[in-house]
């Protein structure tokens, strides 16, 4: 099954609202502007900032998400204007993947 780049695979039975509560002791009182990042590899998007949290979605290598609010090594990720959860900082990069060769 092929899918267009930039479409996350979301398991319907695991979709839950991500924990988007702000911590009161955060240094900034305003959310930073989102930044575009690209999945380095198959990337689990979690419902909380924890490797043991439920998986809300899976990004394929090269998929694009907008991230903001980096805390404890986890970015809050949005996809197509909807908050989908959290990704580990090391699993996304700022450089776009090279274009795939035409067939």
- 3-class SS of residue 3: coil
Range scoring the smallest mean pLDDT among 43-52, 64-73, 79-88: 79-88
Domains annotated on the chain, with CATH: 34-93 (2.30.30.40)
Q: How far is it, in rounded angstroms, from Cα 81 to Cα 71?
A: 21
Count of other CB atoms within 10 angstroms of residue 28: 8
Q: Pick the closest to residue 45 from 36, 56, 35 (CA basis).
A: 56
Q: How far is it, in rounded angstroms, from Cα 5 to Cα 15?
A: 21
Q: What is the pLDDT of residues 12-66, one digit of tens each?
A: 555 555 565 544 444 444 567 889 999 999 999 999 999 999 999 999 999 999 9
Grade residue 82 by pLDDT with cuts at 50, 70 and 90: confident
At 46 the pLDDT is 96
């Amino acid at each position: 099954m092929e899918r267009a780049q930039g479409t996350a695979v979301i398991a319907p039975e695991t979709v839950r609202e991500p924990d988007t509560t702000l911590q009161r002791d955060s240094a900034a009182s305003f959310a930073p502007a989102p930044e575009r990042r690209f999945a380095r590899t198959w990337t689990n998007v979690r419902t909380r900032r924890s490797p043991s949290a439920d998986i809300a979605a899976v990004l394929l290598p090269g998929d694009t998400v907008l991230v903001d609010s980096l805390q404890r090594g986890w970015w809050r990720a949005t996809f197509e204007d909807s908050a989908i959860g959290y990704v580990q900082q090391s699993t996304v990069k700022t450089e776009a993947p090279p274009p795939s060769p035409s067939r």
